[in-house]
Structure 1
Amino acid sequence: MLPMTTESLLLISRDTRSSREVFETHADRLERRTGVDTVELATYESEPVSELRDQFRAMSAETVYALPMCMAHSYDTVDGVPAALSYISGEVHYCEPLGQSPAITDVLLEKASTHVPATGETSLVLVGFGSSSKPYHRQAANYHAARLREQSDYGEVLTCYLIQNPTVECIRYNVSNPRAVAVPLFVSRTEATERRVPEELELDRGGIEYADPFGDHPRITDAIHAEVEKQRALAYGDTSASRSFEAQLTRTCRPVATDGEGVL
């Protein structure tokens, strides 16, 4: 029998307009479902290490499952967040972002069809944040776009991004059907989902409906739960867990003295 250890689930995200309220809803559900001792929230504005280290130092759980509440890895989640996690005294299992969970596909289809029914004469547009240098956002968007082409009746499923091609501002001219719906690939409301995306889609021209971000949808809770259970299984039954991309990040990313964050 494996010895009992205290476990905590840590949900990490930038502090956005509605992030804490949304994450508290997921945390309440997960506390009942995952069997961990605690579910904690960690939000930051711009500097994960300086803003989160005191909270992380205070965590007493022997095992911590840390999950970035975003669609795909970004500069923060491959550098600042894993560096901040080094302040946790317990064993940290850094989870993948939510972006390639099949549950996300279900949420996207539900959000889209609420606004524009799926037919051969309607289009679905997935709007991601994107990255000028990393492939992760494109990979996540393409994954769900491919699934939606197979599993829905939309005449076309397109992808676009705020900071990489194809851009949001150009997608209107790529849509072939007279009616379309755009769904943002964001967990919670942000300045981008509230202002930038609607402006660049030119929603006031008509023809494109716009859905809300995922928010506190129950299937997002399912996606988080599934990732935690995967990490548990890997931790106790498969040495490949130590070779994952996220495990490498927690081993190699550390605050350094020259940044004013590390300890000499």
Structure 2
Amino acid sequence: MAYTAGMRSLVLVGHGSHLNAESAAAVYRYAELLRSRRLFDEVVEGYWKEEPSLRQVLKTCTYTDVTIIPMFISEGYFTETVIPRELGLGHQGVVPPEGVARTLGGRTVRYTLPYGVHPAMTEVILERAREVLPDASGEDTALIIIGHGTTRNENSNKVVHQNADLLRQRGLFSEVHALFLDEEPKVTGWREKVGARRVVMVPFFASEGWHTLETIPEDLGLEGVVTVFPAQAEGTPEGAGEQTVYYGKPVGTHPAVADVIVQLAEEARGASLTGGDRAPEHRAAWDALLALAGDGVRMGEIMVTPHGGLFEIRHALDEGRSSETLTTLVTPDGLRDHTRLTESGEHRPVHTLRNLRRGWRAVLAAGDLQRAIHTLYPAVVEEGYACHTHALRSTPWPTTARRQTGIYSKVQKASPEQVEHVAREVCGGCLKTRVWAGERLSQTFFGGVPGAIPCAEACTFLVAEIREEVAGKRGQGSGHSH
């Protein structure tokens, strides 16, 4: 079935991070690549730990035909529990090969398996191997696929073993091994298992990060792309000679992953040949915003003004500054890259915190305005308009807490006093008004009050901080759960 263009939203879901801006980089890169191919009317990013959050992302989709693809390398806790729960799919556990289809809020939503388990990933592994060793031979070259491994979910290592089995059957390498960082068989013992003279190692990871850049090279003693290990090193098989390791890049960063994503979208259960329409509530919100923008509008820390057939966005505190003194940005992606960090270089996982950097102006065509504002303030237009028209549904803290699982289920034990104490500190620096906590918001920026932005539900950043408070670790800089 050909997946033709027309009235479709594609959502790429990543984990994200409250601490590290690089965690979301791979998802952004694939979204840009897929936008350039124009196979979908829009491509939207959504995250567990950043914005737009999984609770918000469907609201930000323009169309009623939505396909959601988890940007994860394997099945596991996030793809089977967290993402379906936060999206409200009414599904928990193993996702069937054809995916899960639901009708939610007037939208047809299809949720697929993570891209890493798609059969086409076997070829991506081969491409990564050929990059570092083009003349890999079935006579003297071993392939090691390095997985993370975990004891929390048995499905997480399954795809690594499956790909190793498939490539072993093809006979392209003298040996093929699936080895792991955190479970047996561990990659640190590779010399006890591999006898081949040349060894290609390919990390089965979604992105370039701490493990691929630091943990694996340090644990294995790799010195770069090519490392020579001398003969008869301790623990090697009897008679083993000198071995040369060729260390590839992670499979998840290969451009061919974009093709895998498109294939997943094609195969999604019930995929429509004609696509959907614009979602009525989404259209109403953005039509209202564009009408305001035609005369100039302020929202949060930004101001939008018409500018000779284009629109200019800048920080409201830069009003009146000469354009020559500001960095000019001409694409939503450039705007995103410029504003994801604070003035001092800190990551901004919550976009409505009052720390948007100054010194820039974005000059954009009308067709780019929606994505630009969405980039700066995800879901703010949709939720702001719902509040303005008295249609916003808020989620009180007890409901949010009861929904949490895994390490976050601990927040269910938080007392009202603890929740309020943490919220005062965390939310005090945010533009939003805590409607979920009962605070009143009689006006919004749609009514001419720039800083009047509703918060319909406690964000994941606050949830994580409350967990730290309950655990007695808040302020100790542990940060691992963020």
TM-score range normalised by the length of the shorter chain:
0.7 to 0.9
**Residues 1:155 and 2:159 are matched in the alignment:** no
TM-score, L = length of structure 2: 0.45
Cα separation, 1, equivalents of 2:253 and 2:176: 24
- The equivalent of 1:219 in structure 2 is 256
Hey, what does 1:99 align to over in structure 2?
Answer: 116
CA gap 1:230/1:196 in 2 versus in 1, 3 angstroms: same
More deviation in 82-91 or 8-17?
82-91
- CA shift at 1:210, angstroms? 1.2
8 Å CA contact 1:100, 1:144 repeated in 2: no
2:54 — aligned with what?
52
| Match for residue 257 of structure 1 among 388, 392, 399 | 399
Asked whether the 8 Å contact 1:49–1:84 carries over to 2, the reply is no
* Deviation digits for residues 114-150 of structure 1 (CA, Å, limit 9, x no counterpart): 2233221111100111221423232211221122223
One-letter identity of the residue aligned with 1:160: L
Q: Following TM superposition, by how much is the alpha carbon of 1:236 offset from its aligned partner in structure 2, in angstroms?
A: 5.2
Q: Which runs of structure 2 are paired with 1:1-264 in the superposition (5 Å)?
A: 6-15=7-16, 18=22, 20-31=24-35, 33=37, 35-45=39-49, 51-86=53-88, 89=105, 90-116=107-133, 117-119=135-137, 120-204=139-223, 206=229, 207-231=244-268, 234-235=270-271, 257=399, 259=401
Contact 1:49 1:80 in 2 (8 A): no
Tell whether the 8 Å contact from 1:72 to 1:99 is kept in structure 2 after alignment: yes
Distance 2:150 2:177 in 1: 17
Single out whichever of 50-59 and 213-222 deviates more from structure 2.
50-59
Shift of 1:37: 1.8
TM-score using structure 1 length = 0.77
Q: Do the aligned partners of residues 8 and 125 (structure 1) sit closer, same or farther apart at CA in structure 2, a change above 3 Å counting?
A: same
Contact map agreement 1:111 1:211 (CA 8 A) in 2:
yes
The whole-number CA distance in structure 2 between the counterparts of 1:114 and 1:37 is: 33
Q: Which has the higher contact order (CA 8 A, sep 6+)?
A: 1
**Aligned partners of 1:49 and 1:261 also within 8 Å:** no
Which secondary structure does the structure 1 equivalent of 2:270 belong to? helix
> Offset of 1:235 from its aligned partner?
4.1
State the AA in 2 paired with 1:30: L
> Match of 1:248?
none
- Unmatched runs of 5 consecutive residues or more in structure 1: 238-254
Greater helix share, structure number = 1
| Residues 36 and 194 (structure 1), Cα distance of their counterparts in 2 relative to 1, 3 Å cut | same
Residues in 1 aligned to 2:131 and 2:36: alpha-carbon distance in whole angstroms: 29
**What's the counterpart of residue 249 of structure 1?**
none
Residue 306 of structure 2: aligned partner? none
Q: Secondary structure at the match of 2:172?
A: coil
> Per-residue CA shift, 1:206-264, capped at 9, x if unaligned?
33221111354332111110000001x53459xxxxxxxxxxxxxxxxx982625589x
- Change in Cα spacing, 1:236 to 1:37, as seen in structure 2 (3 Å) is closer
**Deviations 1:39-64, CA, capped at 9 Å, x for gaps:** 0112344xx89943234433343122
Alpha-carbon distance between aligned partners in 2 of 1:39 and 1:171, rounded to the nearest angstrom:
41
Cα offset, 1:34, TM superposition: 6.5
Cα separation, 1, equivalents of 2:116 and 2:64? 27
C-alpha separation in 2, matches of 1:158 and 1:183: 11
**Structure 2 CA distance for partners of 1:50 and 1:235, relative to 1, 3 Å:** closer
- The structure-2 alpha-carbon separation of the partners of 1:256 and 1:183, relative to structure 1 and needing over 3 Å to count, comes to farther
Mark the CA change 1:221 to 1:42 in structure 2 (over 3 Å): closer, same or farther.
same
- What displacement does 1:8 show? 0.9
The alignment yields a C-alpha RMSD, in angstroms, of 3.1
Partner Cα distance (1:30, 1:58) in 2: 18
Change beyond 3 A, Cα 1:215–1:79: closer
Separation in 1, partners of 2:403, 2:155:
27
- Which letter maps to 2:260? A
Match of 1:102, SS state, is: coil
| Secondary structure of the structure 2 residue equivalent to 1:188 | coil
Same amino acid, percent of matched pairs: 27
Mapped to 1, the partners of 2:22 and 2:51 lie a distance apart of: 22
Q: Which amino acid aligns with 1:111?
A: R
Q: Deviations over 1:148-179 (max 9, x none)?
A: 22335211010011222111222232111132
The answer on whether the counterparts of 2:141 and 2:198 sit within 8 Å (CA) in structure 1 is yes
Contact 2:46/2:52 (<8 A) preserved: no
Letter of the 1:118 counterpart: A
Say which one has the larger Rg: 2
Which deviations, in whole Å up to 9, do the C-alpha atoms of 1:166-209 show, x marking residues without a partner? 11222232111132111011121121112112222232473322
Aligned to 2:291: none
Matched AA of 2:168: R
Q: Which residue of 2 aligns with 1:252?
A: none
Any stretches of 5+ residues in structure 2 without a counterpart? 90-103, 230-243, 274-396, 405-435, 437-482
